[in-house]
A and B are shown apart, each in its own frame.
Chain A
Amino acid sequence: MTTSPNNLAVIKTGANLVLSDLFNTITKPTDQQKSAFSSLLEQGVPTLRTERWRYTVLRKAISNHLKLVESSTGELPQHPALTNLDAEKVTVLNGQLHGELSISGLELSSSNKVSTLNPLKHDDSFIDNTNIAFAQQTLKLSISKDIEKLVVLHFHHTITSSLLANRLEIETAKNTSAKILVLHTSDNDLNSTLIPVTTLNAGANSQITIINIQDLGDKTFQLAKTHAHLGADSVFKFTQLEIGAQLSRHDVVIDVLGKGAEFIHNNLLHGTEKQILDTHLDVYHHIDHTQSTMGVKAVLDDKSRGIFNGKIYVEVDAQQVNADLQNNNLLLSKFAEINTKPELEIYADDVKCAHGATVGQLNEESLFYLRSRGLDKDAAEKVLVSAFSRSTYYGLVPSVFEEWLDVRLGFES
């Protein structure tokens, strides 16, 4: 055991012990890993008493069944939507990069050095610290030209009872554009915990789209973070679809740093059975003349639970900010639950910010109308649920993914 006495003082709960034991199995942690781990222990694994974690129990996600991935084996996955997709594709299987991207203006490399984005106002670094402490390598994707073709990174995981931290750092040079689809999958029944972090450093006047599709196996845990710095006049379109996993916590932190920058976000939490889908979205407008538009929807069936915390923060000198955050939730079963909390924290006086949340069931009048036209109850319900959900991905993902999602979400057979 190499845990320092200093750290022992804060090891109180099982989860902290689990992570310490795991960390000790890393043969040669880098200085960055060590320092991230000591910050992690200092703060401790969040408990239900931690405000930002009060609805999300980590006990099962971080327990002593976990081990680190030693060697990567397994067959490369064949995803139905990817086979017919015209794109530049690579696969990351159990943390190991397979394939390469060979387009000019785009470079993908693997490194053991982590570059963190300075979080400015944000102080919940649990996922970050855990990711850096346990990441075996960092994928760096630099974009130096306009990339016409869609770029796909498919993260797939097959090793049972493991903890795996993937890290993807994206950087776009000024005046560039790119569209990146990140797909996370794992085998069904895989009781592993995945800690993927994506960072984006968007250069001035760059236009970047990231489509993040989480379709992990039904026993898998995910603790994810997406953190972006937006330079002047950059546009970041972030589409997030949370479909699979037993528990998926996703922190999205956006620092809008350059004048004229814009953030556009669409998010769907699609829960069934006993899934827990938790998104914490924090958008910080640090500077004037910036914009953000966020539409977050949850469709929750059975005993699933959705958690959405969304905050728009406007710094004192950040005048002329336009920000809009809407959260609409559809509960399909009386056992499904949503905890939603959209917030504004505004220190500038000349801004236009709006937020709102709705929670509802299927509209009875609409159901009656559809049934009166001959659609059976099931079909009518499907039509209404799909109409509600599709706005989060139609026109935003490649059409083969629209079709795949329609089937995956049960709207089409």
Chain B
Amino acid sequence: MLDIKNLHASIDNNKILNGIDLEIKAGEVHAIMGPNGSGKSTLASVLAGRSEYEITDGTVTFNGKDLFELEIEERAREGLFLAFQYPQEIPGVNNVYLLKAAVNAVRKHRGLDEFDAYDFLSLVREKIKFMEMDEKFLHRGVNEGFSGGEKKRNEILQMLMLEPKLAVLDETDSGLDIDALKVVSKGVNAMRSDERGILMVTHYQRLLDYIKPDFVHVLMNGKIVKSGDHTLALELEAKGYDWLLDAEAA
């Protein structure tokens, strides 16, 4: 579903990604861990299509298509979803308005009829209840004045509505209280299916207790330096990252 080969990216001549290889197949859940500044969010941004980054080498194929040939919105419509590490606040744009516009844009692309107001609202009510959010969030500006945790829930709500093929979750667990972590995990687990891939960026093994990944990768200095199963996360928790650098240097 997603095939990243030798991906190099830089910004303002700073090399951030230095040859990433990663393949995610339908049904798999991958976790990426790594120190601050190692390039995790950069990878997520490059996948979503942020234009500030220059792709200097490598390819990314998404569902058989060259990802870099697609506009930002085309990637979304093809089923790529990025839950942002820092979701943008957009005052004056109703949360529910954005949800509806987004869902209908994706449906249209898939050759489905746009939702009518009634069907849309019933669906949104069901999902917002599932995320244990108050309905009043629907009528607030997108992320406007939301707390950190509320923003993260809102990202997952959008994901549930859009039903992407590949969800990239950038530190969706950061800043969540214990109950919120459970709810967000419940949301992500609800999306797990044989047709879907999930790529989660996280700093904490704790999240992986709730959402058990099939693979764990360690990103350092813009490269994946080690991959393993979920036990790798436990090892990282115990030992930190330094030993990997030493191992790589050796």
Contacts and interface: CB of A to CB of B under 8 A. Distances in A.
B87 A373 contact: no
A365 B90 CA distance: 9
Contact of B87 (A369, A380, A387, A391): A369
B101 A369 contact: no
A110 interface: no
Contacts of B92: 386-388, 390-391
A387 B91 contact: yes
B165 to A, nearest CB: 13
Interface string A323-352: 000000000000000000000000000000
Nearest to A387: B92
A264 interface: no
Closest 10 CB pairs of A and B: A387-B92, A374-B105, A373-B102, A369-B88, A371-B72, A374-B76, A371-B73, A387-B93, A374-B102, A366-B90
A383 B88 contact: no
Interface string B80-91: 001010011011
Given A370-B90, A376-B71, 5 more contacts: A371-B71, A372-B76, A372-B82, A373-B102, A380-B73
Given A368-B50, A379-B101, A383-B101, A373 B91 contact: no
Nearest to B78: A374
Interface string A379-404: 11001101110110000000000000
Contacts of A373: 76, 98, 101-102, 105, 158, 162
Contact of B90 (A372, A379, A384, A391): A384
A371 B76 contact: yes
A128 B200 CA distance: 67
B169 to A, nearest CB: 13
B93 A375 contact: no
Interface of B: 48-50, 71-73, 75-77, 82, 84, 87-88, 90-93, 97-98, 101-102, 105-106, 109, 141-142, 158, 162
Given A387-B91, A387-B92, A374 B106 contact: yes
16 contacts: A363-B90, A368-B49, A369-B90, A370-B98, A371-B71, A371-B72, A372-B73, A373-B102, A374-B73, A374-B101, A374-B162, A375-B73, A379-B105, A387-B91, A387-B93, A387-B141
A366 B106 CA distance: 19
A149 interface: no
Contacts of A391: 92
B101 A368 contact: no
B84 to A, nearest CB: 7
A375 B102 contact: yes
A373 to B, nearest CB: 4
A377 interface: yes
Contacts of A370: 90, 93, 98
A285 B75 CA distance: 56
Contacts of A368: 48-50, 72, 88
B126 to A, nearest CB: 19
Q: How large is the interface on A (under 10, 10 to 19, 20 to 34, 35 or more residues)?
A: 20 to 34
Listed residue (B71, B93, B98) with the most chain A CB atoms within 10 angstroms of its CB: B93
Contacts of B49: 368, 371-372
A377 B71 CA distance: 9
A374 B77 contact: yes
A242 B170 CA distance: 44
A365 B71 contact: no
B105 A372 contact: no
A383 B93 contact: yes
Nearest to A369: B88
A119 to B, nearest CB: 37
A372 B98 contact: no
Contacts of B102: 373-375
A388 B91 CA distance: 8
Nearest to B97: A383
A90 B219 CA distance: 71
A213 to B, nearest CB: 21
Contacts of B101: 373-375, 379, 383
A388 B92 CA distance: 7
B65 to A, nearest CB: 16
A372 B91 contact: no
A366 B88 contact: yes
Contacts of B162: 373-374
Contacts of B87: 369
Nearest to B77: A374
A232 B135 CA distance: 43
A272 B134 CA distance: 40
Contacts of B93: 370, 383-384, 387
Contacts of A390: 92
Contacts of A387: 90-93, 141
Residue among A365, A370, A373, A375 with max Cβ neighbours from chain B (10 Å): A373
A413 B142 CA distance: 23
Contacts of A371: 49, 71-73, 76
